């Protein structure tokens, strides 16, 4: 099963991808997570990407495309994968189409998690993530039981550098300009299933499972 998850920053792509990974034993390929790991380890890619990421801007297409294709090369051992955060520009989507056509492969589902822009800032400014396992919390909607600690493994929770209000506003604008056309790209191919991104995490997950099984 090969899935693309589309949606605005804060729509819940990471939260739902992690659930889907557990339920369906898929590999989550999150461009944001891979980039943050590279940035924290100060790799060559991380050093090139960090200025863009901290400013809430997109990392150049050629860096992202190479990074993601390297990762996709290594998916023979899993049931499938979820692309979380890729493609984010039409150029990235076209590069993916070409690469898959060359290897006679295809994406099964494009899931678009739809949340209105006005709800995203509140979600992102109260997001905290576990340093150890990456589990995502929200102080308003799904807070941890003990302040600052992950319920699953006791890891410390941290706030992402790009979740400051002014950076979030910029990320949403960049999403509107660059990633909404990607949704249209897949709609023209009749591949998009739109999931209403409101409601509890469990409720939305049930809608995703229903969309996949139908």
Choose which of 4, 39, 138, 205 interacts with ligand AP5 (CB under 6 A): 138
67 near ligand AP5 (CB under 6 A): no
* Alpha-carbon span 48 to 36, nearest angstrom: 12
Stretch that binds ligand AP5, among 20-28, 53-61, 70-78, 183-191 (CB under 6 A): 53-61
| Per-residue contact flags (x/-) with ligand AP5 for residues 146 to 185, judged by CB under 6 A | ----------------x--------x--------------
29 near ligand AP5 (CB under 6 A): no
Which is closer to ligand AP5, CB of 77 or CB of 199? Answer: 199
Per the CB < 8 A criterion, the answer to whether 107 and 100 are in contact is yes
Choose which of 3, 12, 39, 45 interacts with ligand AP5 (CB under 6 A): 12
111 near ligand AP5 (CB under 6 A): no
Relative to beta strand 157-158, strand 2-7 is unpaired
Minimum CB separation from ligand AP5 for residue 188, in Å? 20
* Alpha-carbon span 133 to 176, nearest angstrom: 30
15 near ligand AP5 (CB under 6 A): yes
13 near ligand AP5 (CB under 6 A): yes
127 near ligand AP5 (CB under 6 A): yes
Task: Enumerate binding residues for ligand AP5 (CB under 6 A).
Answer: 7, 9-15, 31-32, 35, 52-53, 56-59, 64, 85-86, 88, 92, 123-124, 127, 136-138, 141-142, 162, 171, 199, 201, 204
């Amino acid at each position: 099963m090969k899935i693309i998850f589309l949606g605005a920053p804060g729509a819940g792509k990471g939260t739902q991808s992690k659930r889907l990974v557990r339920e369906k034993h898929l590999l989550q390929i999150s461009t944001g997570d891979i980039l943050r790991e590279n940035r924290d380890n100060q790799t060559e890619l991380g050093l090139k990407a960090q200025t863009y990421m901290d400013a809430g801007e997109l990392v150049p297409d050629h860096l992202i495309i190479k990074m993601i294709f390297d990762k996709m090369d290594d998916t023979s051992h899993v049931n499938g994968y979820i692309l979380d955060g890729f493609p984010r520009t039409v150029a990235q989507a076209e590069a993916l189409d070409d690469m898959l056509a060359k290897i006679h492969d295809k994406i099964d589902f494009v899931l678009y998690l739809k949340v209105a822009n006005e709800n995203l800032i509140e979600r992102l400014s109260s997001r905290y993530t576990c340093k150890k396992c990456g589990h995502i919390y929200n102080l308003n909607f799904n807070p941890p039981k003990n302040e600052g600690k992950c319920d699953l493994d006791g890891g410390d929770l941290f706030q992402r550098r790009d979740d400051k209000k002014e950076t979030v506003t910029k990320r949403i604008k960049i999403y509107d300009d660059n990633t909404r056309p990607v949704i249209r790209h897949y709609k023209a191919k009749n591949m998009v299933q739109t999931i209403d991104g409101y409601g509890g995490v469990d409720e939305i997950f049930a809608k995703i499972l229903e969309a996949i099984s139908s």
